[in-house]
Amino acid sequence: MRHTLPLAPQFYVTAPQPCPYLSGRMERKLFTSLQGENAELLNDALSKQGFRRSQNVLYRPACAECSACLSARVPVADFQFSKNQKRILRRNKSLVRKANAPWATEDQFDLFRTYLDARHADGGMADMDIFEFAAMIEETPVRSRVIEYTDGDDAGKLTAVALTDVLDDGLSMVYSFFNTDDAKKSLGTYLILDHIRIAQEAGLPYVYLGYWVPGSEKMAYKARFAGVEIFHKGQWTALDPNQSFADATHPLSVVPIAEQVSGISLPDTWPTQV
């Protein structure tokens, strides 16, 4: 007799490597392949459980002795722009937004290289060439957009780019880069604020920001958005600025890999085979 079995995705763990956020620590990731006609279903479901997409892979931090990396998202329905955020929007009012299909261009790559050299010269992406960049942009099995921002006050110069996935419950900012010459424009913050506006216009409830890491200066800006939520201990909760995450870097805070995988929920409509 043949039985009906779930076509469950297979999960794997990367080898440990130095953590880019917390000094002296090692990171590893739990990941699965994202492919086939049900890729969007899986991307939607796992994004709600703290996973992120990179090309055709979904991953989530699964470090052996640390659980500090927390997925963050902004609820947009009742989001109120602060006075400082309104100033950032005004400073960038000359920018023109255009959403395109995920296709890489030389102008994008030039801006990307300039951004990396200025902000992440020693990071894991520092040696990316134009072919690897094109793969990052174009190899997507889900609904993605490249959102370009050109400056109307500067002959339409490409100023910022965001690679964004459209989920069933929001926008996921996969990767963004921008001109770093004028720090006062706060373009990184502007991109998030504009994605909040896009999500509001589209009636989508969330903007997913990637990971927030308590104690990491690189990630501190994500906590500045009103109402930001974090995926902590298996559920989304509003970030409490007074909450302590001191135990997150203790080995006993880590859920074993087998338990993590068994706790992952697949889409209700996930296909089966006989």
Q: Could you give the CA distance from residue 254 to residue 274 in angstroms, rounded to a whole number?
A: 37
Which two three-digit tokens encode residue 245?
Answer: 């995450």
- For the stretch 193-214, pLDDT in tens is 999 999 999 999 999 999 999 8
Q: Is residue 199 part of a domain?
A: yes
Look at residue 2 in the predicted model and tell me its pLDDT.
44
Specify whether 50 is located in the same domain as 89: no
* β-sheet with 170-178: strand ranges across: 95-100, 144-151, 157-167, 170-178, 206-212, 70-75, 229-232, 235-238
**Do 79 and 179 have their domain in common?**
yes
Q: Does the pLDDT at position 3 exceed 50?
A: no
In this structure, what token pair is assigned to residue 250?
């203790």
Q: What is the pTM of this model?
A: 0.92
Cβ neighbours for 57, distance < 8 A, ≥ 6 positions apart: 31, 32, 33, 34
Phi, psi of 221, rounded to the nearest 5 degrees: -60, -25
One domain for residues 34 and 167: no
Say if residue 44 is in the same domain as residue 82: no
Would 216 be classed as within a structural domain? Answer: no
CATH value at residue 190: 3.40.630.30
Could you tell me the sign of the dihedral formed by the alpha carbons of 182, 188, 192, 194, in that order?
Answer: positive
Q: What pLDDT does 124 receive?
A: 72
Domain-located, residue 185:
yes
The mean of the pLDDT values for the chain is 90
Which of residues 32 and 121 earns the better pLDDT score?
A: 32
pLDDT in tens, 112-169: 999 998 887 676 777 889 999 999 999 999 999 999 999 999 889 999 999 999 999 9
Say whether both 129 and 157 belong to one domain.
yes
Residues of the domain holding 164: 73-210+221-229
Q: Is the model's pLDDT at 4 over the cut of 70?
A: no
**Both 93 and 225 in a single domain?**
yes
Banded pLDDT at 7 (limits 50, 70, 90): low
Q: Do residues 58 and 80 share a domain?
A: no
pLDDT at 187 over 80: yes
The rounded percent of the chain whose pLDDT value lies above 90 is 69
Note whether 194 and 89 are same-domain residues. yes
State the total domains in the chain.
2
Residues 137 and 63 in one domain: no
* Span 49-68, average pLDDT: 94
Work out the average pLDDT over 169-176: 97
Instruction: Give Cβ neighbours of residue 200 (< 8 Å, ≥ 6 apart).
Output: 76, 77, 79
Q: How many Cβ atoms from other residues are within 10 Å of residue 112's Cβ?
A: 21
Q: Are residues 202 and 89 in the same domain?
A: yes
